[in-house]
Amino acid sequence: MPFDLDERYVQAAEQALGVSFPTTYRLAMMRSNGGTVATESDDWELYPIADDSDRKRLARTLNGVVPETERARAWRGFPSGAISLGSNGEGDQVIFLAGGKGLGPEVFSWRHETCELVRIADDFAAFVAADS
């Protein structure tokens, strides 16, 4: 079960990754850090943002957006500057892409076998709403 998240942890993740998250993502993670989103084509397990406010939260957020993005960046064909938000459990990632001074609001799926990018939502709020 996802927890709420203090904004300082979002800021720490942004600093570690060298990006600014889109507002819709920031707000969604502060309400519910992690979770699952079901789309027409996949079920995505969202990576949480690390939260060390207590032992339970720390244990649940260790494999979060920062280490998972760092791991994905080592894969062949992973887009330069992309941030990995979650996985479908089969190696495919749901990502934000870098654009201009920060991350674009659009959400993409990245297929690890083909390196194909597919735009799946105009912004994170629309991506999460697809689950409703």
Residue 60 forms part of a structural domain? yes
- Domains held by the chain: number: 1
Statement: residue 100 has pLDDT above 80: no
Cα Dmax for the chain: 40
And the tokens for 110? 């990245």
Distance CA 62, CA 66 (A): 9
Question: 115: which residues sit within 8 A by CB, 6+ positions away?
Answer: 76, 77, 78
pLDDT in tens, 47-61: 999 999 889 888 888
Q: What's the pTM value of the predicted model, to 2 decimals?
A: 0.91
Query: How far apart (Å, rounded) are the C-alpha atoms in residues 85 and 62?
Result: 14
Q: What is the pLDDT of residues 59-70, one digit of tens each?
A: 888 889 999 999
And the tokens for 89? Answer: 């459990």
41 versus 99: which is more confidently predicted? 41
Look up the CATH number of the domain holding residue 59: 3.40.1580.10
Residue 61 lies in a domain: yes
What's the pLDDT score for residue 57? 87
Res. 116: pLDDT tops 80:
yes
In a domain, 94, yes or no: yes
Pair of tokens at residue 42: 């996949």
Residue numbers of the domain that contains 57: 7-129
